[in-house]
Structure formats: C-alpha cells, structure tokens
Amino acid sequence: MHYQLERTSGCRVSDSWTYRGLKTVILENELVRVMVLADKGADVYSFVHKASDTDFLWRSPWGVRDPGKFLSTTGSAESVWLDVYEGGWQTVVPHGGYPSNVTGADLGLHAELSTMPWDAQIVEDTLDRVAVKFWARGARTPFSAEKTLILEAGSATLTVNESVTNEGEEPARCVWLEHIAIGEPFLSEACRLDVPASKIMNHGTLVEENSLLKPGFEGTWPYSDGVDGTLIDFRTFPPKDVRAVDMAYMSEQDEGWYAVTNESSNVGFALRYPTDVFKYLWYWRSFGGLGYPWYGRTYNVGLEPCSSIDNGGMSAALENDTAMRFAAGETVSATIRATAFEGTGEVTNVDEQGRVIH
C-alpha cells in the first residue's frame, strides 16, 4: 500500500479523499485550496482564497450527489444532468448546451464527459509545485479529454492544461465549454465585472418569462438593451429580488479574460483563456429565478469560455457553423489560468500567466 507524504506547508496534493462517495482530489498551497471531484466529471467543486476564507464557486441548492447512487425520477435529457449538478466548474465536452441528436447519438444537456468518472494521477508532488492529471473517454461520442491541474508555491493561480481528442477514424464536430459558476456569498451587488472590449449578443429568445435582457440584442460592451427599454450595464450585478434568469454571449475579444471583484471584501476571481479555442464567453445570469429548478434559491453567474454559440447545443452550433471541426485523430489543446486576487477597482487585464492588472 502506498502512502503519500503529508506535508503541512508549501504545495500539497492528495487523491486519498472521498466526498459523499466520490473520489476527490485536493490541491493547495499557502494561498489557495482547490477541490476536484474526480468521480464526477473532474469538476472543480471548490476554489478557496485562504486569507479571506472566500470560496468563489457557486453551489447548487442540492449540492453534491453521487450519480451512481442517485436515481432520477424522469428520463428528461435536461433534468438528468441538473439532478446531479452541484455547481462549481465543469469541463463540458463534446456538447455544451441543450439536448441534441448528433450523427445518431442522443446527447443530453452538457453531455457527456461532465457526469462520468475521470481517472486521476498525481504527476508532481514537491514543496514548490504539485500537479494532477485527469482523463476520460466518451461513451456515445469518439471524444476523449485530458486536463492537468497545477499549483505552484507562492502563487494564487491555478493552471489548467487541457486537451480534447477525436479518437474516431472519421471527422467529428465538438462544442468545448468551460462551465464555471460563481456565486454568493462572494457574488453580491458589491461586485463588478471586467472583460476586454467585446461584442455583446443576447440570447435570441427570452430565457424565462421574467428575463431582463432584450432578446437578440447586439451591441458593444458594457451595455445591453433591456426588455423594458432601459440600459443594462454588464459591469454591475442586480439584486436577487429581480427574480430574473438571462443568457448572453461576448465575442470578438482580442484577449480572453475576465475578472469579478467584490469591492466590499477586496477579493476577486479572474480567468485567462485562449480565444483561438474559446471564441465566445457565455454569460449565464441567474438572479433568483423562479420555478424549476431554482425556485428563487439561486444568486450566481456563469462566466463560461466556449468554442461555439449558442446555448441551444450542438444543433445550434452546427446550424451556425461554430462547432469545432476535428479531423480523425486530431487533438486540440488549451491552457486556462484561474486566479484569486486582492484589490479593488477596474481590472484592465489578466495576462497570460494569470496575473491581474489594475
């Protein structure tokens, strides 16, 4: 039997944990702690800034459920995924968005790697640096994915090196989505959102009856037209009592990054991603939406780099030709950096190393 070193300082990593029946991996250093549900999509379930005891990632009202032990009461292609959606950060491949049928395969919401177990292996474990590799292979599609999470001493930046491969012997299409949900108590009306100069595109139809954003609107960051004719500033976050859920997308960014800063607590979460892979930033705005599945209990946003558009899933991405094209055997790679930072005021850049610049 192999026992890992149990350091109490520097970088630390362990894959010897189980949380609610799921194999769990924890990486940490003196600044941040990251919790990964290896048995459920290799989801990043928690990203904590230690000094302020701030977990940036949102958790759903029902939290973590073991998909292998939970019996869904319907066969809906949407609700089966939502029943085990704990919040946090999912790597969604090869189908982001609502259900579709692709080359004869039925694909549910955000199918298919985000609900299955991933293998995990610690590949580096020193005081100065730790790294864990996760990988999984699709069942209904020919796609596999691999990601290595890295933490270095003295850095509040999590580096994620990812790759997606078409293992089929024929060309295939793919939607690659990083489904990152940020929530309360970190997220509040005291927060501001900064992104590079962008084109805003609202979802083409009302997401819900009480949605705030004008469907189909296109404009320039940071303003969107509202349903009622008012101007909505995307740099700010409305209160929970608006009871609204919306979907928008940002595109045409020279650089891929965003930062959410809580001006009251003086901490923030930033992400850097490559725009050659992730050409769109999906913006899911869930501010106390009523009815299934939230019932007014949620206050969160999804800021989600994606290869394609829109939330209609692969069917929409094929129709508008934004789905990625993979040749037989082709691999596409990307590096994403997530950073916990301190400070207030406008963020003007998040550089390639994940450093936040005010």
For the stretch 76-88, pLDDT in tens is: 888 889 999 999 9
Give me the chain's average pLDDT, please.
Answer: 95
Nearest of 104, 91, 7, 9 to residue 50 by alpha carbon: 9
Q: Are 183 and 262 in contact (CB under 8 A)?
A: no
Note the pLDDT of residue 76.
85
Query: What are 159-191's pLDDT values in tens digits?
Result: 999 999 999 999 999 999 999 999 999 999 999
Residues 6+ apart with CB under 8 A from 194: 235, 258, 259, 261, 346, 347, 348
Residues 6+ apart with CB under 8 A from 233: 222, 223
Q: Are 91 and 135 in contact (CB under 8 A)?
A: no
Indicate if the pLDDT at residue 1 is higher than 60. no
Kindly tell me the sign of the dihedral angle through the C-alpha atoms of 197, 203, 207, 213: positive
Note the pLDDT of residue 2.
62
Residues across the chain: 358
Note the pLDDT of residue 268.
98
Q: Report the distance separating Cα 243 and Cα 263, nearest Å.
A: 23
Note the pLDDT of residue 4.
72
Name beta bridge partners: 106. 101
Burial 170-194 (b: 16+ CB within 10 A, else e): eebbbbbbbbbbbbeebbbeebbbb
Indicate if the pLDDT at residue 260 is higher than 90. yes
Query: What are 194-250's pLDDT values in tens digits?
Result: 999 999 999 999 988 899 999 999 999 999 999 999 999 999 999 999 999 999 999
- Torsion angle, alpha carbons of 239, 242, 244, 249, to 10: -50
Average pLDDT over residues 86-111: 92
What does the block give as tokens for 92? 């969604």
Q: Report the distance separating Cα 34 and Cα 48, nearest Å.
A: 6
Name beta bridge partners: 135. 119, 146
Residues 6+ apart with CB under 8 A from 256: 196, 272, 273, 274, 275, 278, 281, 305
User: Where are the domains positioned within the chain?
Assistant: 12-357
Indicate if the pLDDT at residue 67 is higher than 90. no
Average pLDDT over residues 112-139: 96
Q: Which CATH architecture has domain 12-357?
A: Distorted Sandwich (2.70)
